[in-house]
Amino acid sequence: MDNMDKIRLMKEKIELLNRAAKAYYQENREIMSNYEYDKLYDELAELEKETGMVLSNSPTDRVGYELLTALPKERHEKPMLSLDKTKDVEALRSWLGSRKGMLSWKLDGLTLVLTYRGGSLEKAVTRGNGEVGEVVTNNVKVFKNIPLVIPYKGDLVL
């Protein structure tokens, strides 16, 4: 397969992956399983590696979703990137090197940046697209597993 064929295939995979992400993140529905999405994503990443090209709308170059709601937006101080994953034990060993590591399942869910000042929750912002998130502080205050007050009295961003 020549590079032009690979680029055509990349465009097809990007269109499918972006359609699936929009359905999942913006329409609260799934049009393919996580397994199918991950398989397509890995195939796209391999094609990008082979061609040395990443197209501007590639899901391998961004995380999260486009913000569509009327909630206030806020830019993160540092990018909120997605966790990487691997299915290759040797790649994991190589990445760990001589360090110890702990494995856990990668769970889908909401990623938040929580800001505490003087021990009190001041702000909660979604990951959004990794650079800009939505301020959801009032919503988060009713979550049972997020403390409104913590023992640490300094400034803390989690």
Binned average pLDDT, 10 residues per bin, the chain of 158 residues: 91 94 82 93 94 88 63 91 82 92 78 95 92 91 90 95
d(CA 58, CA 49): 13
d(CA 154, CA 53): 45
The pLDDT assigned to 42 comes to 94
Tokens of 88: 């290759």
CATH superfamily of 1-61: Helix hairpin bin (1.10.287.610)
Set 49, 106, 141, 153: catalytic member: 106
The pLDDT assigned to 73 comes to 93
d(CA 64, CA 80): 9
The pLDDT assigned to 86 comes to 81
Q: Looking at residue 157, what DSSP letter applies?
A: E
**What are the residue ranges of CATH 3.30.470.30 in the chain?**
63-158
Q: Which fold has domain 63-158?
A: D-amino Acid Aminotransferase; Chain A, domain 1 (3.30.470)
The pLDDT assigned to 103 comes to 82
Among candidates 27, 108, 10, 14, which has minimal Cα distance to 68? Answer: 27
Q: Mark whether 22 is an active-site residue.
A: no
